[in-house]
């Protein structure tokens, strides 16, 4: 059976399939470059696993307190080596990326300290963590103040504004690598390194945390290679490789990570407690697969940008720009277009493909949000997914795909639904 006939079985019309194939012809060279980065990062992960002598005993389950959990402790040594840091905290007890960030912030900020974001407003779910939107147990409630330096109109750092914001109370600076629900560019690791160096030149003892979500293994270097005191992320995004069922990581200096461990468990306990409950194989194998999985997601993002830019939609990054995370923002211009796009992504899923996504009031967001994610792991955004807040400029954020072929199908199905809704007309 021909490939286009199989796509037709999945709901992709011949016109949409042929449109996608024409776009793909010009992307082979870029895909080859992505594969080279994946090969380097695969070797990096493999070297860390070999150095730390990973073996079958590290996959054993532990329960209760989790004392002497060598599999857990060795995994943290592997992560520290992969990200070139002094220490790491990698735990299933960290429930999501926002939780990991909240642990890192609250562990390293004390009453009277000030937190600074030099890259504009944080991601929506951090607003309540910080206290920008009132919430119980926010940093603000515990006496931590917040300052912000907005980006310039072109999306670059406003160094003059940052210099003015850094003061004697500035204890920690948080840098969000990815764009979140904004249409600004994602920062490259080199750009983040330049910002870190600038901030440290003004206040050498300031701690700098990078929200690394969606960025791991996109480049051959990470923010921890450029002087970040902590990098933080979720295991149901890039580094979990689609296998980790839960969890988060914090890699950084020994001092910062130790404080994070005390905050996650309890003072005096730290990293000594925390049973793995039998999911170590998923954590190890997910990390091992991550560079390849990320490469497939990157190809899907580039394919999406080239598809939708040709149809007149604004894309961030655009069709030709370099990539520094796996997220592709497409400004669709209307609620109806966002819903159609997400219905296409859902229809391409291996799980819950029959479900129709609808906007709803998700916890932690101040707008209705639509999410499409037919995932094996609930909420896993390294798997094929798309989401966005129902507000101007009506941008949808596409990411993930455990394989490039699935990411390709998702984009074609999103286009199919837009064509069926009469929002897009091919060949005009």
d(CA 398, CA 29): 22
pLDDT score recorded for residue 363: 73
- At residue 101, the pLDDT reads 98
Distances (CA, A) of 4 to 12, 17, 307: 8, 7, 18
At which residue do the structure tokens 């999911």 appear?
A: 279
Which residues have C-beta within 8 Å of that of residue 256, sequence separation ≥ 6? Answer: 104, 107, 108, 207, 229, 230, 250
Q: Which CATH class is domain 60-279?
A: alpha beta
The pTM assigned to this predicted structure is 0.95
Q: Are strands 170-176 and 207-211 parallel, antiparallel or unpaired?
A: parallel
Residues of the chain with CATH 3.40.640.10: 60-279
Say what the pLDDT of residue 428 is: 55
Q: Which residues contact 173 (CB under 8 A, 6 or more apart)?
A: 115, 116, 117, 118, 166, 199, 206, 207, 208, 209
- For 3-42+288-420, CATH gives 3.90.1150.60
CB atoms within 10 A of CB 334: 12
Q: Which of 177, 196, 197, 195 is nearest to 187 (CA)?
A: 177
* pLDDT for position 335: 95
Looking only at the bridges linking them, the beta strands covering 369-372 and 385-389 are: antiparallel
User: What's the DSSP call for residue 174?
Assistant: E
Question: What is the pLDDT at residue 397?
Answer: 94
Question: What pLDDT is stored for residue 427 in this prediction?
Answer: 72
| Residue 177: exposure state from Cβ atoms within 10 A (0-12, 13-18, ≥19) | buried
User: Average pLDDT of each block of 10 consecutive residues along the chain (428 residues)?
Assistant: 89 96 96 98 98 98 97 98 98 97 98 98 92 96 98 95 98 94 88 98 98 97 98 98 98 98 97 97 98 98 97 95 95 96 97 94 80 94 94 94 97 97 86
CA dist 383 and 286 (Å) reads: 12
How far the first Cα of the chain sits from its last, in Å, is 30
Please list the residue range(s) of the chain that carry CATH number 3.90.1150.60: 3-42+288-420
């Amino acid at each position: 059976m021909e490939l286009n006939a199989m796509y037709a079985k999945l709901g992709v019309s011949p016109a949409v399939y042929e449109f996608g194939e024409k776009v793909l012809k010009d992307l082979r060279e870029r895909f080859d470059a992505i594969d080279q980065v994946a090969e380097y990062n695969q070797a990096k992960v493999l070297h860390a696993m070999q150095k730390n002598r990973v073996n079958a005993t590290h996959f054993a389950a532990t329960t209760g307190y989790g004392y002497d959990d060598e599999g857990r402790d060795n995994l943290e040594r592997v992560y520290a080596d992969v990200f070139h840091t002094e220490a790491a905290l990698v735990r299933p007890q960290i429930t999501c990326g926002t939780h990991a960030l909240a642990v890192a912030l609250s562990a390293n900020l004390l009453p009277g300290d000030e937190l600074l974001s030099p890259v504009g407003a944080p991601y929506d779910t951090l607003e309540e963590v910080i206290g920008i939107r009132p919430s119980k147990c926010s940093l603000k409630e515990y006496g931590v103040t917040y300052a912000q330096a907005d980006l310039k109109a072109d999306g670059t750092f406003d160094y003059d504004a940052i210099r003015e914001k850094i003061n004697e109370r500035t204890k920690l600076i948080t840098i969000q690598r990815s764009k979140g629900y904004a249409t600004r560019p994602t920062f490259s690791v080199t750009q983040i390194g330049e910002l870190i160096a600038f901030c440290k030149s003004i206040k050498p003892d300031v701690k700098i945390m990078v929200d690394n979500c969606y960025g791991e293994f996109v480049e051959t270097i990470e923010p921890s290679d450029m002087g970040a005191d902590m990098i933080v992320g979720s295991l149901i995004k890039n580094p979990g490789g689609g296998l980790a069922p839960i969890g988060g990581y914090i890699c950084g200096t020994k001092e910062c990570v130790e404080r994070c461990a005390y905050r996650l468990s309890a003072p005096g306990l730290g990293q000594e407690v925390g049973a793995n409950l039998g999911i170590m194989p998923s954590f190890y194998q997910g990390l091992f697969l991550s560079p390849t999985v990320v490469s497939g997601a990157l190809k899907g993002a580039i394919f999406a940008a080239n598809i939708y830019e040709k149809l007149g939609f604004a894309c961030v990054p655009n069709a030709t720009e370099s990539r520094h995370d796996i997220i592709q923002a497409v400004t669709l211009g209307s609620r109806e277009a966002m819903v159609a796009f997400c219905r296409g992504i859902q229809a391409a899923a291996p799980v819950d493909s029959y479900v129709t996504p609808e906007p709803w009031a998700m916890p932690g967001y101040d707008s209705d949000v639509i999410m499409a994610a037919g995932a094996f792991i609930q909420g896993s955004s390294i798997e094929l997914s798309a989401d966005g807040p129902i507000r101007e400029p009506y941008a949808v954020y596409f990411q993930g795909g455990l394989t490039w072929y699935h990411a390709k199908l998702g984009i074609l199905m999103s286009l199919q639904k837009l064509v069926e809704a009469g929002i897009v007309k091919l060949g005009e």
